[in-house]
Structure 1
Amino acid sequence: MTKQLFLLLTLLAVSHTYAQKINYVVSFPNIVHHEANISIAASGIPAGKAVFRMSRSSPGRYATHEFGKNVYDVKAFDQGGNPVTINRIDGDVYEVPKQNGFVRVDYTLYAAYADGTYSGIDPASVHLNMPATFMWIKGFDKAPITVTFNIPTDKKWTIATQLKPTGNPIEFTAPGLQYFMDCPTKIGSLTWKEWNIKNPNGNDYTFRLALEADATDTVAGTFATKVKRITQEAQAVFGEVPAYDYGTYTFIASINPYVEGDGMEHRNSTMISIPYAFNGDNSLLGVFAHEFFHCWNVERIRPKTLEPFNFEKSNMSNELWCAEGFTQYYGQLLLCRAGLRPLGEILASFSNLINTKENTPGAKRYSPVEMSRHAVFVDAGVAVDRTNYPNMFSSYYPYGGAIAMALDLQLRTRFQLTLDDYMTALWKRFGKTEIAYTVTGLEEVLADVTHDKAFASDFFARFVTGHESFNYEPLLEKAGLTLKKQYAGKAWLGQVSFTEGTTTISSNTIIGSPLYNAGLDNDDVIVQIDGHLVARPADINELLNTHKPGDVINITYKHRTESKTVPLTLGENPTYTLTTYEQAGLSVTKEMMDFRNNWLGTKIK
C-alpha cells in the first residue's frame, strides 16, 4: 500500500468515525404510571446489522443487574420513519438485521425505584441512572452522544447532571458511551446552592448542590455550607481538587421519603438518595463525605480491573479494599476534621472497623483482595437462596477501612508520615495521570513514600494479600485512646439472631462461636438451657447472666422434628470498644493530644 493511499484511507476512516452520532430523546407521556418513551437514533454507522442492548452493570456497582427487564414495546425505524425489522436475540439484546447507515429504536421504560443504581419516574420528579435507562448500540462506544429531555409542559423543572450543557436547557452531550453512562440525571423541583474552590494553580471550580427535599432556602443553604466544608477538608488531603470536566462538580441529592437509600459516585457528580424527611441534620452528611472522596479515589485513582468498565457483565476487582475501604475510612475522618461529627461518634465508627478486621470470619480467613473479588455477588446483588456469607465474607468497606486506619497509624508512628501523604502520592502517580493501578502499584507507591521497601512488602503480604491480625492497641494509645473488650467477663453464645419473639435461630451461627461449635444452625429452636425452659431471647439472656465464659452447659434444641441435647462451652463476646483515656479515667499527655489533633483535627489552613 502506498503512503498516499494509506493516508487517504486513514482520513476516510477518521471522517467516518466523526460522522457517527447517537441521539437520544426522552419523553414522559405516561409519567403517572412511571413510564418513559425513549428513542435512540444512530447515524453514520456502517450499513448492515446493528445490535442494541441494555446494560447489565452500572458504574460504581460491581454485581450484575437485569435492567433489560423493564424495557418493552421495542420498535425500529429507518430515516424516513418507516418500520424495519428488529429481533430480540437475548433477554436484553435486540438486533436490526439490515439498515443503511441510520436506524432509530424506540422503546418504553418502566422505572419505579429511585436510588443510585436504578431509575424512578414519577409525576413529582424523574430520577435516572443511565445504565438502567438507556439502550445503547454495540461497537460505537466512541460516537458522540446528544440527549434531549422533553420535560412535561406543566412542570417548571430543572435538570441536574454532569452531562455537558448546550445552549438548549433540555439538551446535553457526552463524548462517548463510557462518559454518558457515568452521568446520573435528576429532573424536578430542585433547590440549587453553589460555591467555588480554587486550586493552588489558580484554577477555580464550581460546586453545586441540587437538592430535592422539602426544605426552606435557609435550611438548604446551611446544609450546603456543611457540604462545602467537607469539600474543603477533602481538598486538603490531596492539596487540590481534580480538574473536573466542564469545571463543575454536582451533588445530586434526593432527601425525602420517596426514594431508596443509596449513594453512588461518578466522575464529576454523585447521586445521593436518602429516604428521610430532610432536616439538615449532620447525620445526613456521611454519604456526602464518602461519595465526594470517590472523585479522587476510584474515579481517577482507578483500579486497572475496572478499566474499561464492562456494561455487559459483572466487573470483578482486586482493589475494592482500597477504592471503597479507604474511602470508607476517609468519609468518617473528613466529618470529624470538619467538625461535623463528634469524637464519640468517630470512635464508634473506628471500633466498627476494628471489629470487622479482628472479629468477623471473612476477615480472619480471607484477605482484603479476596473479599474485593466477591463484590460481584454481594454489591447490591440479588439472591433468593441462603448463603454462608456470615462465615466466609466480610465487607471490603469496613475491612478496607480497617486496613486504612492501620496503615495511617503505622505511618504516623513509624515514619512521621500520614495516610494523607500516601493518598497524595497515589493521586500524583495514578490519579492526575489517570493511569489505572494494580495491587503491585499500590505497594510500590507505599515503598516510595516511606523509602522502606521492606516495610511496604511486609505490610502488603500480611494485611492486603494476607489476613493476619493487626495490633491496634499500642498505636491507638499514642492518641490517648484505649481499646478494650466491651463485654469482658460476660458469658456469650455467639453472634446470633432469633425470629421475633421466639428462640428460633434466624441466622447462620458463626464459625468458632459456642453455638456453632455445639452444632446449632439456622432454623434450630433452642428449647432448654441447663434444664430451664426458654421461650424468648430474654429468657436466654437471663440464664447467661448466671454464668461466666468457660462454663459448660447443656443446651436442648429442636432440629426439624428431632430433639437434641448437647454440651456447650460458653465464650466471651470478642467485640471491641474504643474510648478516650479521659473517659477511662486515665491521664492524657500533651504528646497524646498532639497526636490525636494531628490525626483527627482540621487540615484547612
Structure 2
Amino acid sequence: MTRFTLLFLCIVSGHSLLAQTNRYEISFENAVHHEAIINGKFTDLKSDTVAFRMSRSSPGRYALHEFAKNVYNFKATDSQGKDLQISRPNPYQWDITGHDGTVNISYTLFANRGGGTYSQVDETHAHLNIPATFMYPPELSERKIEVDFKIREDLNWKIATQMPLVSGTTYSAPNFQYFMDSPVEISDYQMREFDVTSNGKSQKVQFVLHHNGTEEELDTYFEKVKKVVLAEKEVYGEMPDYDYGKYTFLACYVPNASGDGMEHRNSTVLTDVEGLAEGGMKNNIGTVSHEFFHSWNVERIRPKSLEPFNFSEANMSGALWFAEGFTSYYTNFILCRAGLITPQEYIEGISGTFNYVWNSPALQFFNPIEMSYQAPFVDAATSVDPVNRENTFISYYSYGSVLGLALDLSLRQNDLNLDGFMKQVWQTYGKNEKPYVLEDLHNSLNDYAGTSFGDTFFNKYIYKSGMPDYKSLLESVGVMLQQNPESPYIGISAQLDGDGNGVIRTNPKIGSPAYEAALDMGDVITSINGNDFPTGQQFNAFIKQFKVGDMLKIGFERYGKAKTTSVTLKSDPEYSLHLMETLGGKPSKKQLKNREEWLKTE
C-alpha cells in the first residue's frame, strides 16, 4: 500500500480534506443469496464526468481478478435524486455525467468466496475484501472515507477491521489506499487480545475468530498465536509501529470459507474450512506465522516495484523471492522456535519444498527474480489454456524459502545469521518505510556480511539459478541431506480412469524417463510390459518394484490411436532431510550447538 501520513487537517484549494469525505453505506438484507447493497455519496465534484471503477487487483495479490464481474443494478443520481447519465468505457468503469456537484451511486454486489481476495456474504458473516466490494472514483483518491456497515442485528453481527471507529457502525480511512487495504469481518465472532510492549510503547494484538467452535478452543489457539507473535518480534527486535496502536487477525475457520491468508498493513485475513477441532488447531497456525511476519516484510519492508499498489493493473515485482520467499522460510522456522513443532518435524517438513525447487527443470529458464515476475500469471490467476508450469515455473514462495535457508546457514558459518540481516534491512528500509529495489538488498547484504559474501550470494543464486552447497551447510547443524540412487523414477503421475487404464495427469518433467520416451500429459496407459495398468496401488508405488535401468514397454493411446514406447527407469532425484540422530548417526557437540543456536532450542 502507499505509505501515508495520518493527516486529518490539510487545506487544499481552500477546502478541508476532512470536510470532503467520500461516504459509503453497505447492507445485507439478502445475505442468504450472497448479495450486498452498496450506496455511496460523493460531493464537491469539479469534473464534468466522474469515473467510478471496480478494482482489477487486490493488495497482496499480483494477478488480475476483475471484481466488476459481480456488480449489477448500478444507478446514479444527483443531490436532488435526478437520474444521471451512465456510460461504460470499459468493463470495469462507469462514467457519470450531468451531475450538480454531487453523485449518489448504488449497486448490488454478489459475493460468495470467503478468502483473502474476494468477499463473501451469507447468513454466517459478511467477509469483505474492500477492492472486491467498493467502487471508487480515482480522482478523489486522497479524500477521507467513511463507511456505515448496516449489520444484521438479528444475526448478532459485530464489526472487526483495522479501520478506526467513528461512531456506531461507521468506520473511517484517511485515504483510498488505506481503505483498499482494510479488510472487514462482520459476524458473531469471538475475540482475544493482548498487549505487546516495544520500545517503551504498548500496542494491542487482537485475534478475531469466526468459527463454530468453543471459547476454550479459542483460548488454546490464542496461546499459540501469542507465541508466534513474540517469536517474530524477536527476529526484528521490535514491533512495527501499527497505526491506531493495534494489529488485528481476522480469522474465519468455517466450512463455507476458502483456505487463504492475506496480509495487510495493520491486519491479516486468515481463512480455512477446518475448524480448530477438525485439525485447524495444528494446520492453521502456519498461516498465522506467515501472515504476521508480513507486517514487517512486505508491508513496511516494501519493494518499490509495488509502490504504490496499482488497482487498475496487474502488479509485478522481481523481489517476491525475498518478500514472499524469505517470509515462507520463517513460517515454520518460527513455529519450531516457538515450540509449536519439534525440530524433527521442522527439518523433515522442508523436504517437499526442497525437492520441488531443486528438482525442477525450470531452473534452466528463470532465476528467482524472473520467477517473481511470473506472479501475475500464477497468483490465483485463472485461464483456460494449458500451461507447462511443471517445467517452467517454481513458486517464488518455495524458491525464496530454500534460498533463505541457505543464506541463514551460510551466514552462521561467519558468526552471523539471517535474523541479523533482516534486522538491518528493517532498520534501513522498513522502519522508515523507504521502499527498496533489488540493488538495495544486494548492498545491504554486502554491508552486513562483506562484499565478497554478498556478491557471491547474489551473483550465484539470485541473478543466476545456482544451487548452494546444502549438504555441507546442513551438516553444520547436524542434518543429513540424502538421495537414494537405487530408487527407480519415471517422472510422471498416472491415475486410473473408468476403463481400468492410467491417464497421465501431469506434463512429464524435462529430462525424466517419461519425457525422453515421448509420453505426454493426457496419454492413456493401457499396458506395462504386456500387463494391464496396475490397480490397487499408487502408480509411483508400482514403479518402485522395478530397478534403476529397467526398461518398461508402455502401451498407450493418444487421440484415440494405439501407440507403444519404451521407458528406461532412472535414479530418483528426490532428496530427504533428517536429523542425523534419527538415522542412527551421532552429531558432534559443535553440530548440536550450532543447531540449538539456529533453532533457538534448549
| TM tier relative to shorter chain | over 0.9
1:396 to partner: Cα distance? 0.7
Q: Secondary structure at the match of 1:300?
A: coil
Match of 1:289 in 2: 289
Q: Is the 8 A contact 2:17 2:144 kept in 1?
A: no
Structure 1 residues 470 and 14 mapped into 2: Cα distance closer, same or farther (>3 Å)? Answer: farther
- Find the aligned partners of 1:426 and 1:258 in 2 and give their Cα distance: 39
Q: Secondary structure at the match of 2:495?
A: coil
Letter in 2 for 1:182: D
Match of 1:242 in 2: 240
Letter in 2 for 1:445: S
Structure 1 residues 52 and 231 mapped into 2: Cα distance closer, same or farther (>3 Å)? Answer: same
- Find the aligned partners of 1:51 and 1:468 in 2 and give their Cα distance: 49
Match of 2:495 in 1: 498
Structure 1 residues 51 and 454 mapped into 2: Cα distance closer, same or farther (>3 Å)? Answer: same
Q: Secondary structure at the match of 2:333?
A: helix
Match of 1:155 in 2: 155
Deviations 1:184-205 (A, max 9, x none): 0000101010101100x20111
- Find the aligned partners of 2:417 and 2:90 in 1 and give their Cα distance: 51
- Find the aligned partners of 1:252 and 1:330 in 2 and give their Cα distance: 21
Match of 2:6 in 1: none
Structure 1 residues 198 and 11 mapped into 2: Cα distance closer, same or farther (>3 Å)? Answer: closer
Structure 1 residues 171 and 542 mapped into 2: Cα distance closer, same or farther (>3 Å)? Answer: closer
Q: Is the 8 A contact 1:492 1:514 kept in 2?
A: yes
Structure 1 residues 537 and 515 mapped into 2: Cα distance closer, same or farther (>3 Å)? Answer: farther
Q: Secondary structure at the match of 2:152?
A: coil
1:465 to partner: Cα distance? 1.6
1:600 to partner: Cα distance? 1.1
Structure 1 residues 552 and 12 mapped into 2: Cα distance closer, same or farther (>3 Å)? Answer: closer
Q: Which among 481, 484, 493 is matched to residue 483 of structure 1? A: 481
1:492 to partner: Cα distance? 1.4
- Find the aligned partners of 1:275 and 1:160 in 2 and give their Cα distance: 20
1:535 to partner: Cα distance? 4.9
Comparing 21-30 and 493-502, the one that deviates more: 493-502
- Find the aligned partners of 1:535 and 1:569 in 2 and give their Cα distance: 18
Structure 1 residues 445 and 12 mapped into 2: Cα distance closer, same or farther (>3 Å)? Answer: closer
Match of 1:93 in 2: 93
Q: Secondary structure at the match of 1:281?
A: helix
- Residues 165-184 of structure 1 mapped to structure 2, 5 A cutoff: 165-166=165-166, 168-184=167-183
Match of 1:271 in 2: 269
- Find the aligned partners of 2:594 and 2:262 in 1 and give their Cα distance: 33
Q: Is the 8 A contact 2:261 2:268 kept in 1?
A: yes
Match of 2:310 in 1: 310
1:601 to partner: Cα distance? 2.1
* Gaps in structure 1 of 5+ consecutive residues: 1-9
Q: Which among 437, 441, 460 is matched to residue 462 of structure 1? A: 460
Letter in 2 for 1:220: L
Match of 1:7 in 2: none
- Find the aligned partners of 2:128 and 2:211 in 1 and give their Cα distance: 17
TM-score by length of 2: 0.94
Comparing 252-261 and 240-249, the one that deviates more: 252-261
Q: Is the 8 A contact 1:21 1:44 kept in 2?
A: no
- Residues 193-232 of structure 1 mapped to structure 2, 5 A cutoff: 193-199=192-198, 201-232=199-230
Match of 1:6 in 2: none
Pairing 1:474–2:472 present: yes
Deviations 1:287-345 (A, max 9, x none): 00000000001011011110000001110110111111111110111100000012232
Q: Is the 8 A contact 2:275 2:281 kept in 1?
A: no
Letter in 2 for 1:329: Y
Match of 1:111 in 2: 111
1:478 to partner: Cα distance? 1.1
Q: Secondary structure at the match of 1:154?
A: helix
Q: Is the 8 A contact 2:492 2:504 kept in 1?
A: no
Superposed CA RMSD in Å reads 1.9
Q: Is the 8 A contact 1:296 1:431 kept in 2?
A: yes
Comparing 288-297 and 98-107, the one that deviates more: 98-107
Q: Is the 8 A contact 2:362 2:392 kept in 1?
A: yes
Q: Is the 8 A contact 2:493 2:540 kept in 1?
A: no
Q: What is the aligned-residue identity percentage?
A: 40
Structure 1 residues 568 and 591 mapped into 2: Cα distance closer, same or farther (>3 Å)? Answer: same
Match of 2:72 in 1: 72
Deviations 1:139-173 (A, max 9, x none): 2211110111011242322111001112x131111
- Find the aligned partners of 2:547 and 2:266 in 1 and give their Cα distance: 55
* Gaps in structure 2 of 5+ consecutive residues: 1-9
Q: Is the 8 A contact 2:207 2:250 kept in 1?
A: yes
- Find the aligned partners of 1:315 and 1:545 in 2 and give their Cα distance: 44
Match of 2:530 in 1: 531
Structure 1 residues 543 and 100 mapped into 2: Cα distance closer, same or farther (>3 Å)? Answer: closer
Q: Secondary structure at the match of 2:309?
A: coil
Structure 1 residues 545 and 133 mapped into 2: Cα distance closer, same or farther (>3 Å)? Answer: closer
Q: Is the 8 A contact 2:251 2:271 kept in 1?
A: yes
1:14 to partner: Cα distance? 5.5
Match of 1:344 in 2: 344
Q: Is the 8 A contact 1:358 1:364 kept in 2?
A: no
Q: Is the 8 A contact 2:492 2:506 kept in 1?
A: no
- Find the aligned partners of 1:379 and 1:497 in 2 and give their Cα distance: 26
Q: Secondary structure at the match of 2:562?
A: strand
Deviations 1:260-301 (A, max 9, x none): 111000010001111013226222200000000000010110
Match of 1:594 in 2: 593
Letter in 2 for 1:196: D
Match of 1:20 in 2: 20
1:589 to partner: Cα distance? 1.5
- Find the aligned partners of 1:539 and 1:164 in 2 and give their Cα distance: 54
- Residues 316-465 of structure 1 mapped to structure 2, 5 A cutoff: 316-413=316-413, 415-450=414-449, 452-465=450-463
Comparing 543-552 and 151-160, the one that deviates more: 543-552
Q: Secondary structure at the match of 1:426?
A: helix
Match of 2:3 in 1: none
- Find the aligned partners of 1:150 and 1:462 in 2 and give their Cα distance: 56
Pairing 1:259–2:253 present: no
- Find the aligned partners of 2:339 and 2:11 in 1 and give their Cα distance: 58
Aligned residues: 589
1:120 to partner: Cα distance? 0.6
Match of 2:4 in 1: none
Letter in 1 for 2:378: V
- Find the aligned partners of 2:127 and 2:64 in 1 and give their Cα distance: 20
Structure 1 residues 511 and 213 mapped into 2: Cα distance closer, same or farther (>3 Å)? Answer: same
Q: Is the 8 A contact 2:534 2:542 kept in 1?
A: no
Structure 1 residues 602 and 229 mapped into 2: Cα distance closer, same or farther (>3 Å)? Answer: farther
- Find the aligned partners of 1:358 and 1:534 in 2 and give their Cα distance: 30
Q: Secondary structure at the match of 1:578?
A: strand
Deviations 1:48-99 (A, max 9, x none): 1100010010000000002101101111111122222222222120000232
Deviations 1:522-546 (A, max 9, x none): 1112233333343548496676445
Q: Secondary structure at the match of 1:136?
A: coil
Q: Is the 8 A contact 2:495 2:539 kept in 1?
A: no
Comparing 509-518 and 494-503, the one that deviates more: 494-503
1:592 to partner: Cα distance? 1.1
- Find the aligned partners of 1:174 and 1:281 in 2 and give their Cα distance: 33
- Find the aligned partners of 2:541 and 2:121 in 1 and give their Cα distance: 51
Q: Is the 8 A contact 1:19 1:44 kept in 2?
A: no
